[in-house]
Structure 1
Amino acid sequence: MSEITRASSTKIQLPSLPQNVLPAINEFTKALGIPRNVLASDEDIEYAWIALPRELRDIPDINSHGELLARMCVAVSVGLFDSAINYAWNASILKLREKVKNFGLPIVAQILQKDFEEKHLLDKQDSELLELSLKLNLVTEEGYLLLDQCRATRNNFSAAHPSIGQLNDREFIVFLNRCVTYALAKSSSLRGVDIGAFITAVKGSRFAEEQCSLWLGRLNETHDAQRELLFGTIHGIYCDPNTLEPARLNIIDLYNHYKEKFTSNIRSNLINQHSDYLAKGDTQRHKISVQFFEKVALINLLNDYEKHSIISKAINQLWNAHEGWNNFHNEPPFAERLLELSEQGSLPLNIQEEFVEKVVGCYIGNGSGFSWKAEPIYEQMIREFSPKEIQHMIEIPQKKSSLVANRFTSNSTCRRKFQNALKLIDISSVPNAVLINYKKLVG
């Protein structure tokens, strides 16, 4: 009756209860002169035995817990649910310890910022082990709460301590289900990242492609809480004025490869760390942090004031190149930079009008020509204008003090280019307020 056999990867087969087991329990209690109800009832035993395979089949490495689970099944068969939950709980604790060891005891020590060897793991009380498992993300918050309830049940209703009552078959199965679901069934593949080695590598020489892939793989294998810590740490390293350029480039590589997977917590921590520099008056780090957000294309995380400052600077640099000597050759890199920034989310409302006028102005040229290499870049920005930006564009010819309006009015080449720019826009995006003017201008 104690043998557990694995019929397949998804099915557990237990032998049927012998017909003489339940009558034997009755005879046993009668012989000892004790009430039959000190053990689970025949009905509770039968229903618990029927439900056992459904729970056991979800344990992927059941053989590693075979001894404890076999004892659990034997205890169930004779109505000792108090012993059964103790065996199930012990198997769960052993599994959680195994997960912590697999995560890496040296890494746990780094996270806890104190020595942590196997003896420290073994010395931890069950409640402390659950808290550590939660901190390492080896169990979810839900799992932690439900396993902690199991811990209380085990302490008050199991054979490990004087019991304050008995469990029936439903309560036992719920207990076992939680142990299986949140401890035994999930064989975690998480591995901690050696923080010291990671920082040393980041601060070292420029990453080779294989080295970058290696660290990205290790970041993938760890948990959200450590990723939040590591990405916050390297943002701080980037913003350190003493950090060398190879380290900054390594950090940009890691962020650019991983930013699409960022959790809301990672993004929030970045914003908070960036804001703290300003709050503390550390203008040097704050300035470098702004550059960081530009480099990793995350300026949409910044507030409108900072986004306005970044976009305005890029607009002015483009316009200065456009107005300067040899502008047709100098414009493309500044146009590319502005395109990159404009594609990082919607622009602040108070910069949209200037953005539109300068992009359109560069596109239509100065009457003597325009930058052929930059033209596709301007066209892409124009195609991506929002409805409000389209409205600003259509209103340009009506402005009295606008240089771009003057070019439109006084130069037929600029006027044709302006009409070409309007044709790049999907008419369905044109606001109704300027739709008539749009049709007139397109001709």
Structure 2
Amino acid sequence: MNSLVVRKNIDLPALPDTVLPAIAQLTTALGIPRDVLASAEEIEYAWRDLPRELREIPDDLRGELVARMCVAVSAGLFDGAMNYIWNASVLHLRQKIRNFGLAVVAQIIQNDFEEKNLLELQDSRLLDLCLKLNIINEDGFFFLDQCRDVRNNFSAAHPTMGSVNDREFTIFLNRCVRYALADSSSPTGVNIGSFISAVKGTRFNDHQCQIWIQRLTDTHAAQRQLLLNMIHGVYCDPATAEPARLNSLDICCGLKGSLTASIKSELINNHSDYIAKGLEDKHTASLQFFEKLGYLSLLNESELHVVLSRAIDRLWNAHNGMNNFYNEPPFAERLLELSQQSAIPETIQDHFVQTIAVCRVGNGYGVADAAIPYYNQLIQGFSPREIATLIRSAIGKTSYLGRKILTNGSCRTNFKEALLLIDPASIPSGVKTDYDTLIS
């Protein structure tokens, strides 16, 4: 839960009665026109608007440069004031990069990056890096880059192209505060080498897993996406040891609630690349990855068909094999889990419905009791089309299900129990008469 940050009002002293007259006296003494400097009205309006902006700057960032900016504003030196607040913004953005971790930045940009490199960065490249690290967003980059251009051409940092008035200065100040200074927090980067080494090491314990999940949560979205793509690759690599695969899955499951559309899209792109390149081992592992995460709905219908078809076939083989009453439940449970992740493709609905129905009615020796709760949930989740398929199969004398119901009393009783699990309101009108006959 985010705590509400209450900003204290900043009460600046009134401008002394001597300040504005002193400016006029100074220009007169120098023999220059009064209008080469900000007018008394502009100074008064800029001074009046200062507290509103200053209160958004955290206490620990209201330092020397902010004080100098205020003094410059009181004298109408807006060009100098812009330079001071810009420098304060740049220093704070540099500190955010330090907090992120210079070694981690070096890993991300794939180049050496030490304190010297940070200090030598031109302002334009500093903003580029902050955007890449998600320290500022795209809006912040756009407006701060505009401020950079204004500062270079209209502030005291360089010979100016012209002057700015109080409103232009206040807009400049607002953007520096809003996009650079207002938020004193900053993400901490994750050391990529250490992370991958940990994932590929021994099996995580709960505490170790939570530490890495928290570190990925605390970093910025772009790095989180990079790292999740990497561990998806680790999971799908046939050479990866099972502990590393399980570690990868634990991390992804722990972050499932915060996976953005962009991250999901990138995972799908990686998965599609395996198909395009004919990497069957990796493709199979990737299908399992999406299944374990509960993201089968992200896959296309043909791939869903493959995954569900295999699960249905395995249940059918268990049902028809030795000791089926003991072997069916785990296969029934898995099919239920898969069906809850996505709608069943039409290409496999008939096979899906008839397999579940046949298993649910059992055989002459009974039903796999431990599997019944799974079959019941599956039947209760049938779509109208699947319900119609179920009913038509039950009345068809040529279907396997129909013959079992017709010739075996216990199967007929079990089927009626299963049919009563379906809400009558869900019965399609085209099979309503047959439904009434079956339950009568």
Instruction: Name the TM-score, length of structure 2 as normaliser.
Output: 0.96
User: Matches of 2:431 and 2:77 in 1, distance apart?
Assistant: 81
Structure 1 counterpart of 2:369, from 369, 372, 377: 372
Equivalent positions of 1:405-420 (< 5 A) are 405-420=402-417
State whether residues 367 and 407 of structure 1, in contact with CA within 8 Å, keep that contact through their aligned partners in structure 2.
Answer: no
Q: Name the aligned partner's letter for residue 277 of structure 2.
A: K
| Equivalent pair of 1:356/1:393 in contact (CA under 8 Å) | yes
Q: Percent identity?
A: 58
* Partner residue in 2 for 1:22: 20
Q: How does 1:265-284 map to 2 (within 5 A)?
A: 265-284=262-281
Question: Are 2:316 and 2:355, in contact at CA under 8 Å, matched by a contact in 1?
Answer: yes
Q: For residues 431 and 16 of structure 1, do their structure 2 counterparts lie closer, same or farther at Cα, with a shift above 3 Å needed?
A: farther
Q: How far apart are the structure 1 equivalents of 2:262 and 2:290?
A: 16
5 Å-filtered alignment, 1:274-353, equals: 274-353=271-350
2:370 match: secondary structure: coil
Q: Which SS does the other structure have where 1:163 is aligned? A: coil
Deviates more, 1:197-206 or 1:270-279: 270-279
2:205 is matched with: 208
Once the two structures are superposed, the pairs formed by residues 59-98 of structure 1 within 5 Å of their partners are 59-61=57-59, 63-98=60-95
Does the 8 A contact of 2:7 with 2:56 survive in 1? Answer: no
Distance change >3 Å, CA 427–CA 166, structure 1 → 2: farther
Asked if 2 retains the 8 angstrom alpha-carbon contact of 1:409 and 1:415, the reply is yes
CA contact (8 A) 1:58 1:185 kept: yes
State the partner residue of 1:243.
240
Pair 28,350 (structure 1): closer, same or farther in 2 beyond 3 Å: same
Match of 1:392 in 2: 389
Matched residue, 1:422: 419
Question: Secondary structure of the residue that 1:13 maps to in structure 2?
Answer: coil
- Does residue 218 in structure 1 map to residue 215 in structure 2? yes
Q: Which runs of 5+ in 2 are unaligned?
A: 1-5
Q: State the Cα distance separating 1:174 from its structure 2 match.
A: 0.9
The SS at the match of 1:24 is helix
Q: C-alpha deviations, 1:398-432, integer Å up to 9, x for none?
A: 33432111112222222222221122122333333
Mean Cα deviation higher: 414-423 or 133-142 = 414-423
CA distance in 2, matches of 1:374, 1:125: 67
C-alpha distance in 1 between matches for 2:347 and 2:308? 11
Instruction: Identify the residue that residue 125 of structure 1 maps to in structure 2.
Output: 122
2:29 aligned with 1:38: no
Q: Aligned residue for 1:258?
A: 255
Matches of 1:440 and 1:162 in 2, distance apart?
93
Q: Distance in 1 between matches of 2:307 and 2:144?
A: 50
User: Cα distance, 1:261 vs. partner?
Assistant: 1.4
One-letter amino acid of the structure 2 residue matched with residue 298 of structure 1: Y
2:56 is matched by which residue type in structure 1? D
Helix, strand or coil at the partner of 1:206 = coil
Deviations 1:3-45 (A, max 9, x none): xxxxx94211111111221122122212212122211121111
**Structure 1 unaligned regions, length at least 5:** 1-7
- Deviation track 1:333-373 (CA, whole Å, cap 9, x = no partner) reads 11111111111121212112211111111111123311101
More displaced 10-residue stretch of structure 1: 220-229 or 397-406: 397-406
Which amino acid is 1:329 matched to?
Y
Q: Go from structure 1 to structure 2 and tell me whether the alpha carbon gap of 1:435 and 1:176 turns closer, same or farther (over 3 Å shift).
A: farther
**2:146 aligned with 1:176:** no
CA distance in 2, matches of 1:441, 1:257: 47
Do the aligned residues in 1 keep the contact of 2:43 with 2:166 (CA within 8 Å)? yes
Deviation >6 Å, runs of 4+: none
Name 1:138's counterpart in structure 2: 135
Q: Is the 2:103–2:114 Cα contact (8 Å) retained in structure 1? A: yes
Q: Which residue is equivalent to 2:111?
A: 114
Distance 2:210 2:181 in 1: 32
The letter for the 1-side match of 2:269 is N
Match of 2:189 among 187, 192, 200: 192
Structure 1 CA distance for aligned equivalents of residues 270 and 34 of structure 2: 65
1:435, CA displacement in angstroms?
3.4
Q: What residue in structure 1 maps to residue 434 of structure 2?
A: 437
Structure 1 length normalisation: TM-score?
0.95
